[in-house]
Structure 1
Amino acid sequence: MASKFGLAGGIPERRVRPIWDAVDSRQYKAALKLCTGLLAKHPTSPYALALKALILERMGKPDEALSVSLNAKELLYSDNIFHFDDLTLSTLQIVFQRLDRLDLATSCYEYACTKYPSNLELMMGLFNCYVREYSYVKQQQTALKMYKTVGEERFLLWAVCSIQLQVHFTSGGVKLLALAEALLKKHINSHSLHEPEALAFYISILEQQEKYDAALEVLSGDLGSLLGREEDKLRLQGRLLAQASSYAAASEIYQKVLESCPDDWESFLHYIGCLLEHDVNLPKPCTGEHTCPSCSVDLALPNKTCLSQELVESRLTSALSFVQRLQENNLSDCVRGPHLANIEIERQRCLNGNPNNIKLMEALVKYFHRFGHLSCSASDVEIYLHMLSGNDMSELLDEISGSFDASSVSVNTLGWTITLFKIQEILGTLFTKPTTELQGIAKRMVDTFYKNLSLSNELDLQESMYGEELLSMASSILVQLYWRTRNLGYLLEAILVLEFGLTVRKYVWQYKITLVHLYSYLGALPLAHKWYITLEVKNILLESVSHHILPQMLNSPFLQHAADLVKDYLKFMDDHLKESADLTCLAYRHRTYSKVIEFVQFRDRLQRSMQYLSVKSDSVMLHLKQKADSLDEVESILESVSHGTKLVELSNDDSMKHLTFNEDLEARPWWTPTSSVNFLSEPFDEGSTPSSYRAKMCKHKSNEKDGPKLKDAERKSLVPRLVYLSMHGCTTFLREGESNGASSNVNAAGEMKTLLEKYARSIGYSFDDALSIVLGMSSGKKSVKDFAPDIVSWMSFAAFINAWNLCSTEPAIPGTDRSSPNSWKIVDNLFKTCIEEQLTDASQMLTSLGNNISLLVRMVTEPISWHLLVIQSCMRAMTPQGKKKKKGGPLERPNTPHLQAIQISVNYMANTLQSVQTWLSDQMRPEEQALDALLSYLQGTNADGPGKISCTLDESAAAASSEIGGRIAQSLEPWSSAGVVRRIVGAGDETIAELKKTCAQKLKLLKSASASLSSMLH
């Protein structure tokens, strides 16, 4: 902290050090006391003021911190200061950054650099300010100024890096590459280069300009020695040769790489690509685009060549000889690359005119004979397995099953068994097997897992157990059996299998994620939330993993749990976006320039995250849902988000086009490939094939960017603004004597019309068509079921239409005018119809799935809440404001028709919510009765039905102490299938109770409103 001569900001270090020690130990009150004493002795010290501002900010007093910081800034600008030290400026910069006022920090450094233009320390501080502001042009200018001042290579590279950022993030930036090249070339001629990162940067700039020969010349010269590892140099050289279409030379280079690193799979693919003379730049998915590995055989590997068949055969034969030499020289089980290369060569033969894939089959069999005991062996060759015919699949499975003795208990035998099951799963052969056989396979998996538990008895709790995959596969089969038969017992057994696995070892994240989705589908959201919390998702995983639970919680009655998830996510995103520039500054300081580009690109990707936009809207909507019973609190919430205007701006068409999708969909269960798709909610197609099913699953993933999720995010971003305009518009119209009411109303009505048009488009209709549909559903002329997927959005649209009708100067609804109460009837009838339809279709929870209680929750917490806010706003607008009576008689009530319409609407809403309450009460049964109902699905009389696996689990747990002993047996002592089912019942009751509580709050509000309306009308 001290500057030269033992001074810190012009103050002796011995007086400053105790303050910093108190700050570092979070003793802010003590630090403030010490700082106050320091200011008493140095009242005009900018550094002392900067310290005080820092302490105030840490104490959660941003306004005071900003005021003190500005005082320090003014002192810096005064003529009494004769020396600027970086310590004072950097302390102020920390405060301004945390207060989100980077512009003030930058202005301080700019002023200091103006006064001391040759001070390198100040210029570096200014450069870092521009880095934090992502001002690439000013970064470049400042770096070049430093380079001219001291001539250091690092400052030139800072400038070149800033140019690269302009190329990546500004239009027309490509033209600057020539400038970057010229700057580096001039420096090389006079000073050469001294850092590996500098050489990599120079070659990258040449490569971007397609100057491959020049890049190769640089690499083969003296500068090439900067690359420490010969293999890295060869890989770079091979890539440049391939891009320059020097395929023969490139293949020789890659051959050298493989001789040194035989397990380098990417280099082998480039080697094959160069031999066959086609583009070796392996395709990469576009930003934010989801791809599915099982459908990407042709994308993941080089495509068909245009060489003659004879030449292809000759070159592949040569490659095969080379690969066989690699196999002979590398006998370790750790080196799988050369053996996989053999399979790839045979695949290329099949692609290039040799349809006989016998050798491909032989290569696969050899691979499994060598590596079949490894857990990765099946996934290694997954893309090749999809090329096999039905007969080949059967032959391969027979070969593998005959390769080991399944009755023995050993790690290798268990590995072979798992590989056999995995291949069946990958090939889809399980998809076509009869129900009885599938049930037997699932039971065999569970039995195998239990039989081999003793192998894991000595492992540490944190280590993966042998055979964990078996329970995941068994659960997957049981889910498929449920999909086929609609027998709830299979779904319960799928849960029991995973719960059993977590009882044995509680750290298996794959089990937990699957349970999150199974419990969500079952309606037991508290259990889903509990298992998700145990995953301890943090940092960037909040962006890629939250999709497993967040959509379900947002549509649940557990608003506080959802709000906590949203809060954690937004805190990470906001903090990262605010502080990520510090990582960039660190990368500059440590001269890792590739990381500079990587960090900035990563931040840009996160900033454009679709989920980030969606969760911002979700956060506001959650607060509105939670406080919908209090008009004042809702107004406060809306005021804190600029009345929803910023969210509307974020959802404009240009922004939506460039959103990124960062969710890791590969970790989702097969039956819910995206958060908006669940195959279990669809009927099982007996005629579907494994390949058509895979294609369907991959299509959903690849279409996620253009699917309902994007439209939903756009629609949600409009809601807070529409809620505000609905409340404001009807208040302005109904309140008598409002100044400038007419012009204000016109503006509100016009903006509402624009937003409602956009809202209608997000559902897939024009505004006029959407209005017609609402009128049709309200009158009974159109079936609500025809619009079921977006029914909540339709109900919200109707609530906003009613509010728009109140504030519009022209008839908003055909056949009505602004003084007509008919729009209230439209909302009343539509809400009643939609909820009655939902209650009619809904069956007993937890025993007949598909009743979509989440849909009922959304109806109550979204459209009904918005409508009640409009009612409250209207009532407040029409409540007498203490006016005196006119001389002619009693106070006139021109809004009596609206009061009557509102009263009718209040009664409608109360009756509708009461029917929901009644239905929910009917779902609540005594715990033992509900438990017996669920357990009956596991005690079927049919010998082929569910129940066998749950019995096996209970029997295994009971016999564990005598068979396996040790820690695992002890962990299984409390196991009980009935106990798991009891928790499911409890979770269902908790969900019902929470929704009942929400309904009760709204009924209380409606009762109060009804009493007030009666008082106003009489």
Structure 2
Amino acid sequence: MSDPTVSERRIRPIQDAIATENWKQALQLCDKWSKKGEKSDRFLALKAFVLVNQLDKNQHERGQAEVLELCKRHPPVSDPETIYQLQEALKCLSLEEEGPKLWERAVTAKQNDKDLYMRWLNQAILDNNWLSAQKATMGLRKSFPRDRNYEFWNILMCFLIHMQRDLPEKDRMLFGTLAYRMISKAAETIPTDQQKEGQGPGKSISTPEEVALLVQVLNSTGRSAEAVKLLQGDSVGMESTAGKKDPQLVLSLLLESMKLSEQWDQARSWSHGLLSQPEYQSDNRIWHLWLEAQSRLSPDGLDKESQELLDSACNVRPPVRAAYMAKMQYFRSHRGENDLDALLQTCKEYAQAFCQQAFCFDDLKESLRHLDQTRFNDFTASCPEQGNLAQVFRLKLVYSSFSTDVSRKDLVDFASRALQLYQSSLADTTGSGCPEAVVLAILALLKLAAATGETRYTFFAVVLLQIARARFEDFYLFSILLVQLQAYLGLLSLAMDTFTRLSVKNLQWETVGHLILTRISSLHLEGSGLEENHFEPLGELGTGLIILENADSALVRGIREGLRFNSYSNIHNSVEMRADIERSVNRLIYAIEERRLRRFLQMSEETVLPTSSGPLSLVDKRDFAFLPSYRPDDAQLLERFRCGPLPHEKWIAVMALGDNLATYLKAELLSQTALASKAFENLSVSQTNVERLTKDGLETELTTAEKASFECHQILARIVVLAKEGAEHEQLTELLEKLESWLNARILKRRNNRDRPSSGSGSTLAGTGIEIPTWETLHTSLTELETLQIIAMALAVLAAAANKKSKSKSKTSVAVARDTLVKLQKLVVDMEDTIRQEARDLKDQVNAPGVLGKLVDLGLARDEDSELAGLADVLNKLCDEITMETICGRIKDSWDDALDGVLAVKVKSYL
């Protein structure tokens, strides 16, 4: 047997070589120590792992044989570190399912080794393998029967298997039944009086967390009525020994079980009893259950007792917000005249009670939408007018009541009124200002921009937001709107700088990060400046991905700690969160954007984009709830000012095709054999995935430029596959003709745009005559440049194949005439030159003499013929000319910076 100290000393340099992916050196070290007689399990597993990762086929197969031999060896491998190493080797061989068997065999040799069982369990949790975890806990339960916790661990694992949707229904039902039987036994054995001295809990339920596990099992197996009965009983109810330790947890469990059981009579009676007690009247959850029970049992109206409950709760002083919300919700669900009168009266009472609170309008808006115009006017007349917050509230009422075809004059007048309130609030020393009035003015301006299609209103909105944010830096809505609108206007460096001020942290990258990172690789390639905290796209994408990986690791720790401290109530939620992160839309989008940026920046790539062979079942955690919403159509309004449609599964499938195509071609050109092989395999999978897409729905996720590039990528993918598989010459010729047509069409479209006055690639800023590069200008240019680079690489691969064929006289590959490839390469160069010339033309316009003055005049609404002229007076009070020059100067510099980004991209020719 090898000396462990000597083995460790020999293994360490091999691990160092593996860490740097120096597989050749690692193999040399393995051979060296093997000849010296090193035969420890860890060394043998490490040597097999090194062999598996060799490019030489014979060595790879030898490694596979050694791995499998170690896995099946008698006596079995029982050293945990060796098992970990073998699991890594099995992953390289795509034999991950064999990993858990190593632990099963190991514990048969060491049945009383608790550390071995715990390592097995921890590994199973890391792998999300609950079947393996259940076997580990069952082994712990059997080998250490005196430890009561292992009983509940085993129940929990059976429950988690039951909740695993990707397992066969038969297996899920089996483990659900097992969990039910075991937890029921633990519930039945609860002593009638556990408070007697000296009496231990045994294996019966004795803590709130164990009660939570009981209820989770009962509810998930369709026995919620049984859960309700137990939770209202003496054994595990709120008054039981366990329940008294955490009554809020038991209350939450009972509310959940009541709703699932649909025992509405019992739900109404129980919730009514709780709501009669003042300490429960502020709990929205109880009100929601009571209202649902009411709607199921008495759809036509309230009985006297229920009416008295609502009236009584709303008469409490200080007023109870939850009670008023429940009362309004009830009357909203009925459309009778008396109900509408009651709803109006409740709204009035609520407004009187909470009109000085920021949440007042948000709570009322749904109810106000149910009122007819007469009642709405009645409500408006009843609202107080004194005080800044009261005036902002009235502005919200006005804005929310605009008709869909509101006139441009009304919108400008409203914006003026809102800005005047904001300006006067700044001079009011008794108040704190009204930043929300600016948000209302911005929304009115965006309605104007959407109705007219004129960019100047969006520009004006951006200027206003920058003026207001200078005074209210912590008012997050200003920064949120600025990020979106600056990016929309092509001011990407400013948008990135604004985004850094949001101080996005942790999982906010999953919910908020999309505001700036979506399509960032086709909008702006470099950082936002030289400041210490400047935004660097590639680094921020990496941060977003690392945060998600760290979140997964934190959840794994949380699950393990939950077991350690017998805290079961949140373990299932942690398991669900891990599954959500694994299937996160943002995770895939960030990975795609990061890889595209790396290609633009000509960085090396050693990996492929993970590709799913089946339909994606993704989880979307992108949040938009933080955006202002005073009207039902506000969300739709703000959607119009995004940088393209929101990406989902179709976008990901389309981008994966382009990514795998680019990865394969580059690997071929750099002679990265292993990478090229894997990328080609993924390319075939991507082709199958995109064939399932319905072209009619692509515009809901793809921009015009992305759809055009997708068309080209499909042609190129077919060319690459046919060329590699040795297709008929006629098939390749036909596809190359399609590629030529695509290039000619894109060149013609760009040249036609340039030839039209005021219809170039940018957008004209009305009132100034300046052509500016909006997000679409930048996105289209960078997307097309990326596609041109892929075409150039494809032509080079075809040329290399033709040279190889001419030398080898092979019949398995098709040679393409060099003249054809040169002709296509010339079109690539022509199109690149056209894109670059348009960028230079726009750059000249942005930097032309007098542009800054025109932007300042527009920002201060000095054009007397413009509808915005009515805002000039209030603008002059909010901002002086020097400040406006600074703002407009930064805007001009940002456009210049964005165009420099386009000009920095050069398509590399390989012919």
Q: TM-score range by the shorter chain?
A: 0.7 to 0.9
Q: What amino acid is the match of 2:268?
A: S
**Which of 617, 640, 643 in structure 1 is aligned with 2:607?**
640
**Does the C-alpha gap of structure 1 residues 371 and 417 become closer, same or farther in structure 2, counting only changes over 3 Å?**
same
The alpha-carbon deviation at position 469 of structure 1 amounts to 1.8
SS in 1 for 2:173: helix
Report whether the alignment pairs 1:444 with 2:414: no
Matches within 5 A, 1:724-873: 756=687, 758-759=689-690, 762=693, 764=695, 790-801=707-718, 803=720, 806=723, 809-811=726-728, 818=733, 822=737, 825-837=740-752, 839=754, 841-845=759-763, 847=765, 852-873=776-797
Other-structure match for 2:365: 382
SS of 2:512's partner is: helix
| 2:903 pairs with one of 996, 1001, 1004 | 996
> 2: CA distance between counterparts of 1:532 and 1:362?
43
User: Which residue identity is paired with 2:311?
Assistant: Q
* Cα distance change on mapping 1:979 and 1:729 into 2, 3 Å: closer
In structure 1, which of residues 887, 900, 903 is the aligned counterpart of residue 819 of structure 2? 900
When residues 448 and 880 of structure 1 are mapped into structure 2, their CA distance, relative to the original with a 3 A threshold, is same
Partner in structure 2 of residue 137 of structure 1: 131
Counterparts of 2:474 and 2:480, CA distance in 1? 11
* Structure 1 position 496 matched with structure 2 position 435: no
Which amino acid in 2 is paired with 1:717? A
Match of 1:591 in 2: 566
1:270 corresponds to 2:187: no
Q: Does the alignment pair 1:910 with 2:878?
A: no
1:82 — aligned with what? none
Equivalent positions of 1:603-642 (< 5 A) are 603-627=578-602, 637=605, 640-641=607-608
Task: Supply the distance in 1 between the matched residues of 2:243 and 2:882 (Cα, whole angstroms).
Answer: 58
Instruction: List per-residue Cα deviations over 1:915-938 (Å, max 9, x = no partner).
Output: 222222221233653213323434
Contact 2:658 2:710 in 1 (8 A): no
- 1:978 maps to amino acid: E
Where in structure 2 are the equivalents of 1:945-960 lying within 5 Å? 945-946=867-868, 949=871, 952-956=874-878
SS in 1 for 2:356: coil
Give, in angstroms, the shift of residue 750 of structure 1: 11
Give me the whole-angstrom Cα distance separating, in 2, the residues matched to 1:214 and 1:786.
53
**In structure 1, how many angstroms separate the alpha carbons of the residues matched to 2:814 and 2:225?**
83
1:714: Cα distance to partner?
A: 0.7
Structure 1 residues 792 and 763: alpha-carbon distance in aligned structure 2, compared to 1, 3 A threshold: farther
**Structure 1, gaps ≥5 residues long:** 1-38, 79-85, 279-304, 406-412, 459-464, 628-632, 672-689, 733-743, 771-784, 887-893, 959-973, 1010-1018
CA RMSD of aligned residues (A): 4.8
> Does the 8 Å contact 1:519/1:528 carry over to 2?
yes
Letter in 2 for 1:421: L
Pairwise mapping of residues 281-300 of structure 1 onto structure 2 (< 5 A)? none
CA distance in 1 between counterparts of 2:581 and 2:485 reads: 29
Query: Does 2:168 correspond to 1:171?
Result: yes
**Partners in 2 of 1:151 and 1:792 — Cα distance?**
65
1:257 to 274, 292, 295: 274
Deviation at 1:545, TM superposition (A): 1.4
Q: In the superposition, relative to structure 1, how do residues 537 and 49 fare at CA in structure 2: closer, same or farther (>3 Å)? A: farther
The match for 1:347 among 332, 355, 362 is 332
Tell me the equivalent position of 1:397. 380
Counterpart in the other structure of 2:264: 247
What does residue 503 of structure 2 align with? 536
Residue 111 of structure 2 corresponds to which residue in structure 1? 117
Take 2:883 and 2:84, find their aligned partners in 1: how far apart are those partners? 59
Distance (Å, rounded) in 2 between the aligned partners of 1:823 and 1:937: 46
Counterparts in 2 of 1:590 and 1:61: CA distance versus 1, 3 Å: farther
Query: 1:221 matched to which residue of 2?
Result: 234
| Structure 2 letter corresponding to 1:248 | D
Q: CA 1:537 to 1:128, structure 2 compared with 1: closer, same or farther past 3 Å?
A: same
Matching residue's letter, 1:492? F
Q: Which residue of 2 aligns with 1:653?
A: 614
| Structure 1: distance between partners of 2:220 and 2:344 | 42
Partners in 2 of 1:544 and 1:836 — Cα distance?
Answer: 41
Distance in structure 2 (CA, Å) of the matches to 1:803 and 1:567: 31
1:662 is the counterpart of 2:651: no
* Displacement of 1:378: 0.9
Query: Which of 140, 151, 154 matches 2:149?
Result: 154
Structure 1 residues 528-537 or 112-121, which shifts more?
Answer: 112-121
CA contact (8 A) 1:177 1:209 kept: yes
For this pair of structures, how many residues does the alignment match? 812
Alpha-carbon distance in structure 1 between the residues aligned to 2:252 and 2:396: 34
By relative contact order (CA 8 Å, sep 6+), the higher-ranking structure is 1
Q: Deviations over 1:821-851 (max 9, x none)?
A: 7456435423423443554543555625778
Structure 1 residue 338: Cα displacement: 2.0
8 A contact 1:137–1:166 mirrored in 2: yes
Letter in 2 for 1:852: E
Residues 1:937 and 2:858 aligned together: yes
2:447 equivalent in structure 1: 480
Instruction: Mark the CA change 1:838 to 1:264 in structure 2 (over 3 Å): closer, same or farther.
Output: farther
Q: Distance in 1 between matches of 2:827 and 2:44?
A: 67
Compute the displacement of 1:908 (Å): 2.4
Instruction: Indicate conservation of the 8 Å contact 2:422/2:435, yes or no.
Output: yes
Q: Post-superposition shift, 1:593?
A: 0.9
TM-score w.r.t. structure 2 length? 0.77
Q: Residue 265 of structure 1 aligns to which amino acid in structure 2? A: N
- On the 8 A contact 1:843/1:851 being kept in 2, the answer is no
Identity of aligned residues (%): 14
Distance 1:502 1:53, change over 3 A: farther
User: For the Cα contact (< 8 Å) 1:614–1:716, is it kept in 2?
Assistant: no
Residue pair 2:518, 2:589 contacting (<8 A) in 1 also: no
CA distance in 2, matches of 1:529, 1:176: 50
Which residue matches 1:435? 408
Q: Distance in 2 between matches of 1:820 and 1:599?
A: 50
| Aligned residue type for 1:908 | L
Cα drift, residue 955 of structure 1: 2.9
Partner Cα separation in structure 1 for residue 235 and residue 738 of structure 2 = 81
* Structure 2 counterpart SS, 1:379: helix
CA contact (8 A) 2:719 2:732 kept: no
Residue by residue over 1:673-712, the C-alpha shift from the partner in whole angstroms, topping out at 9 and shown as x without a partner, is: xxxxxxxxxxxxxxxxx76x479679999xx99x863211
TM-fit CA distance, 1:171 = 2.8
2-structure distance, mates of 1:120, 1:951: 79
1:624 Cα shift? 2.9
> Structure 1 length normalisation: TM-score?
0.70
In the superposition, relative to structure 1, how do residues 176 and 508 fare at CA in structure 2: closer, same or farther (>3 Å)? same
1:15 counterpart residue number:
none
Taking a change above 3 Å as real, the CA distance of residues 507 and 213 of structure 1, as seen in their structure-2 partners, is closer
Matched residue SS, 1:441: helix
Contact 1:254 1:268 in 2 (8 A): yes
Instruction: Give the deviation of 1:879 after TM superposition.
Output: 6.1
1:43 maps to what in 2?
5
Q: Is the 8 A contact 1:197 1:591 kept in 2?
A: yes
Change (3 A) 1:896 1:438: closer
Distance 1:344 1:905, change over 3 A: closer
Shift of 1:528: 1.2
Q: CA deviation at 1:241?
A: 5.0
Instruction: Determine helix, strand or coil for the equivalent of 1:864.
Output: helix
Instruction: Report if the CA contact (8 A) 1:835-1:856 is conserved.
Output: no
